[in-house]
Amino acid sequence: MKVNRKLKAGAAQLTSATKKLLDLANRNSFRHAGTIPLPVLKEGQGSVVVDTDGKEYIDISSGQMAVTVGHNHPKVVEAIKKSADKLIHINHLLHSEESILLASRLAEFLPKPLKKVLLLNTGSEANEAGIKIAKMHTGNYGVVSIVGGYHGHTAGALSVTFRGKNSAHRGFGPNMPGSMAIPIPNCYRCPLKLTFPSCDFACANVGFDLIDAQSVQTPAVFIGEPIMSSAGIIEPPQGYFEHVKNLCRERGMLFMLDESQTGLGRLGTMFGFEDDGAQPDLLVLSKTMGGGVPVSALVTTDVIENDVVDKGFFMRTSHMGDPLTAAAGLAVLDVIENDHLAEQARIKGQYLKNKLLQLKEMHPIIGDVRGRGLLLGIEFVKDPVSKELAVDETAAITAKCLELGLLIDAPGGARKGQALWRIAPPITISYNQIDSAVDIIDEAIKSVIPTAER
């Protein structure tokens, strides 16, 4: 498959202000993504962001999957301003009015016995808290995750973030002792070359058999995601997590779900676990909780909380439970409930998925369209039979979309040999904006892939 590489070269004319910012960035900003990429953004509203040259983009990534209510939602902005006028920060040993109300409000959304809420700042922190709680509660230390899963970049969370040959572990020394992974439940590319449902969840069964063979004691906890976002929107088959939870119960392990990206309406239900019916012992919420403000939560049961507190559990971070971030979280929950965002995600998600499936019929480079609600993925392939990843083509199509005014998240990208898109627009996106986004994708593919190969 040939690529029109001319489309990858040449940036638009930059204003002097943008050039100055890029000079400053190259001088002083750490290149955490490997480069200082364009665009440089300055403002946003709803599903649209604007760069420092005044160009508008439809953002179908919700920033970093975080602004499900849209950029700068008026109710979130108002809550932040009110809190800034009143009280921004408190000592981490104390509680604020807003943090107490946020914990209580979250508990109202959750099924019993999930009711104890530990407020933190990021998904990484919340996963660290969950892992620590599981270790203290069970008395064991092993942590089992899934190959391809993503749980953060702090030490414990990174240790159970297994990303294959392009792992984020490289260069940082050994993982935490007891960090293990089972095969990914990717039915499009089954690692065991089997087919669901006749496989009978072989990936989980074989995985836990290997864990049993390697472990010096029963692991403390399993951690997974209802949809594996960073792995390329991998949705395990129906019943997978119920099966895994049973495997955990047989071994005396806790069952933990990281819903940093899937929770609070994104998948068309309030929580991702509702679809499979496998309620966790420990639940992580973060990105979708703050409307762009860093706030997260680890939620567990009375029984587990009482046990670890009695054993001396300790978790402190400087900004946990700050009134300003908690106020933003309360506003987000109000918008989710009052505007019925879970239902909107289900309906709009199906609309968008149908449009993407229509593109798949038109363009063989689209190998798979998958996901649920408004967390969807596209996998690009050189041909539908071999399923060889179309890495260079994906990079070129992504660049063309950016040129045409569409921001798309491509996890890993060409630098890590990936050919995936993660599509997660704000749930408040309009149907006209969805149509425009799909039209841009169509135009970008047509620009990059020669007519004879489409």
Q: Do 176 and 298 belong together in one domain?
A: yes
Q: How many CB atoms lie within 10 A of CB 415?
A: 12
Q: What is the mean pLDDT of the chain?
A: 92
Q: Which of 314, 338, 362 is the last residue of a domain?
A: 338
Residue 384, pLDDT > 70, answer yes
State residue 373's pLDDT score.
Answer: 98
Q: Do 36 and 130 belong together in one domain?
A: no
268 sits in the region (left: phi over 0; alpha: psi -120 to 50; else beta) called left
Q: Do 102 and 250 belong together in one domain?
A: yes
Q: Contact 266/345 with Cβ under 8 angstroms?
A: yes
Q: Contact 408/418 with Cβ under 8 angstroms?
A: no
Q: What are 336-371's pLDDT values in tens digits?
A: 999 999 999 999 999 999 999 999 999 999 999 999
200 sits in the region (left: phi over 0; alpha: psi -120 to 50; else beta) called left
Exposure of 261 in the CB half-sphere (CA atoms within 13 A): 30
Q: Contact 359/387 with Cβ under 8 angstroms?
A: no
State residue 16's pLDDT score.
Answer: 87
Residue 311, pLDDT > 50, answer yes
Q: Do 49 and 176 belong together in one domain?
A: no
Q: Do 313 and 402 belong together in one domain?
A: no
State residue 37's pLDDT score.
Answer: 80
Q: What are 129-140's pLDDT values in tens digits?
A: 999 999 999 999
Q: Give the residue numbers spanning the domain of 350.
A: 5-72+340-453
Q: 4 or 45, which is more confident?
A: 45
What is the pLDDT confidence band of residue 452, given thresholds at 50, 70 and 90? very low
Estimate the crossing angle of helix 431-448 against helix 391-403, to 10 degrees: 130
Residue 256, pLDDT > 80, answer yes
State residue 56's pLDDT score.
Answer: 96
Q: Do 189 and 205 belong together in one domain?
A: yes
Residue 34, pLDDT > 90, answer no
Q: What CATH number is attached to the domain comprising 380?
A: 3.90.1150.10
Q: Contact 246/48 with Cβ under 8 angstroms?
A: no
Q: Which of 338, 361, 396 is the last residue of a domain?
A: 338
Across residues 59-83, what is the average pLDDT? 97
Q: Which of 316, 338, 360 is the last residue of a domain?
A: 338
CA–CA separation, 141 vs 97, rounded Å? 35
State residue 301's pLDDT score.
Answer: 98
Q: 190 or 9, which is more confident?
A: 190
Q: What CATH number is attached to the domain comprising 247?
A: 3.40.640.10
Residue 438, pLDDT > 70, answer yes
Which token pair is 337?
């409930």
- For residue 238, give the DSSP letter: T
Bridge partner residues of 421 (DSSP)? 378
Q: Of the given ranges (5-14, 184-193, 312-321), which has the lowest mean pLDDT? A: 5-14
Residue 95, pLDDT > 50, answer yes
Q: Contact 151/145 with Cβ under 8 angstroms?
A: yes
Indicate the pairing of strand 254-258 with strand 296-301.
unpaired
What is the pLDDT confidence band of residue 7, given thresholds at 50, 70 and 90? very low
Alpha helix (H) residue ranges in 272-390: 273-276, 302-310, 323-338, 341-362
Q: 156 or 139, which is more confident?
A: 139
Q: Do 291 and 372 belong together in one domain?
A: no
Which token pair is 359?
């593109």
Mapping DSSP to helix (H, G, I), strand (E, B) and coil, where does residue 243 land? helix
Q: Do 80 and 184 belong together in one domain?
A: yes
CA–CA separation, 403 vs 385, rounded Å? 31
State residue 453's pLDDT score.
Answer: 56
Q: Do 192 and 271 belong together in one domain?
A: yes
Share of the chain above pLDDT 90, in %: 78
CA–CA separation, 300 vs 236, rounded Å? 23
Q: Do 208 and 105 belong together in one domain?
A: yes
87 sits in the region (left: phi over 0; alpha: psi -120 to 50; else beta) called beta
State residue 182's pLDDT score.
Answer: 96
Q: Do 222 and 169 belong together in one domain?
A: yes
What is the pLDDT confidence band of residue 4, given thresholds at 50, 70 and 90? very low
Q: Of the given ranges (23-37, 103-117, 399-413), which has the lowest mean pLDDT? A: 23-37
Across residues 294-309, what is the average pLDDT? 98
Task: Please report, for residues 257, 272, 389, 430, the alpha-carbon distance to residue 264 in angstroms, rounded to integers and kept in the order given.
Answer: 13, 8, 32, 19
Query: How many structural domains does the chain have?
Result: 2
**Cα 153 from chain centre:** 13
Q: 235 or 170, which is more confident?
A: 235
Sheet strands side by side (includes 221-224)? 114-120, 296-301, 282-285, 254-258, 221-224, 143-146, 179-182
Residue 400, pLDDT > 50, answer yes
Query: Letter for the amino acid at 263?
Result: G
State residue 5's pLDDT score.
Answer: 35
Q: Do 314 and 207 belong together in one domain?
A: yes
Mapping DSSP to helix (H, G, I), strand (E, B) and coil, where does residue 133 land? helix
Residue 117, pLDDT > 90, answer yes
Q: What are 168-199's pLDDT values in tens digits?
A: 777 777 888 899 999 999 999 999 999 999 99
